[in-house]
Amino acid sequence: MDETPLLVDRCDGYRRVTLNRPQRLNAFNDAMHRALQTALDEAERDPSCRALLLTGAGRGFCAGQDLSDRVASGDKKPDLGKSIDTFYNPLIRRLRGLSFPVIAAVNGVAAGAGANIAFNCDIVLAARSASFVQAFARIGLVPDSGGTWVLPRLAGAARARGLALLAEPLPAEKAEGWGMIWKVVDDDSLMSEAEKLCAHFASAPTVGLSLIKRALDASETNTLDEQLDLERDLQREAGNTSDYAEGVRAFMEKRAPAFTGRKR
């Protein structure tokens, strides 16, 4: 079918990564997983990359696992635990651990792992026509890719249960209303809005932003006491960056800051 399951564009200060299996609504096969792993490795190694934009080609964002690779033959059952261990869990850990912001531009339906990959990005922008489907229960599976962790935190316990157990599509506007995503925009302005955000992050104090990500992630399990200590430690680190010094100088001189995104 598709020769290139992933497209990577090097933009000014960020990378755009497009899931590219539009005939299958960008469902994941092993080749797309591997290409995405490589793209994330390369982005992280590139000091000029200060944000990542993740989107889908065609009318869908991502329909989760490609089920045509899962059709059971006879008694032989696929080992889904192995697939999760090899691909989905490392992907979610990777996305959350990237040292710059990850923006999902959800251009259409995001189903199964596709929905939860989006929910694990730092900022989710969605086209008005997009929707999120916890499709797992329709085929006898459990929400994965961090779904059972992220859903109660984003939507609250009652809504998380409804979404996971009923597997009904959640329209983007409702997801925005429930506080699960950053913003819904008109379909034809999705990419320009997402690129605007990336351009903003490409000239932001990147190290400071990565420390913010760490602090917010840690707050999921920390006590207030632990979090206060962590904030002290991270603030010390942030205060040692040249971007902090530049931010203060620029404020005092009443000009726009020129952040390098580097530590020193």
Where do contacts with ligand T3D occur on this chain (CB under 6 A)?
24-25, 27, 63-68, 70, 80, 83-84, 88, 109, 111-113, 133, 135-136, 139, 141, 144
What DSSP line would sit under 49-68, residue for residue?
---EEEEESTTEEE-SB-GG
Minimum CB separation of residue 34 from ligand T3D in Å reads 14
Nearer to ligand T3D, 101 or 146 (CB): 146
Q: What letter represents residue 94's amino acid?
A: R
CB of 74 to ligand T3D, least distance (A): 18
What tokens appear for 191 in the block? 């990419």
Q: At what angle do helices 224-239 and 206-218 cross, to 10 degrees?
A: 170
Residue 139 or residue 228: which is nearer to ligand T3D going by CB? Answer: 139
* Closest distance of CB 65 from ligand T3D, Å: 4
Dig out the tokens for 256 from the structure. Answer: 């726009």
For ligand T3D, the nearest residue by Cβ is 64
Residue (150 or 209) nearer to ligand T3D, CB: 150
Q: At CA 167, angle to CA 162 and CA 68, rounded to 5? A: 155
Could you list the beta-strand ranges (E) of the chain. 6-11, 14-19, 52-56, 60-62, 102-106, 109-111, 123-127, 131-133, 170-171, 183-185
Please say whether the beta carbons of 123 and 103 come within 8 A.
yes
Q: Smallest distance from the beta carbon of 73 to ligand T3D, in angstroms?
A: 15
Nearer to ligand T3D, 63 or 163 (CB): 63
Shortest distance (Å) from residue 188 CB to ligand T3D: 19
Min separation Cβ 37 and ligand T3D, Å:
15
**Residue 163: is it exposed, middle or buried by C-beta count within 10 angstroms (0-12/13-18/19+)?**
buried
Identify whether the C-beta of residue 150 lies closer than 8 Å to the C-beta of residue 116.
yes
- CB nearer to ligand T3D: pick between 109 and 207: 109
What single DSSP character describes residue 262? S
CB of 259 to ligand T3D, least distance (A): 38
Which structure tokens are listed for 230? 């962590």
Nearer to ligand T3D among residue 138 and residue 263 (C-beta): 138
Distance between CA atoms of 193 and 105, rounded to whole angstroms?
9
The residue among 130 and 185 lying less far from ligand T3D, judged by its C-beta, is 130
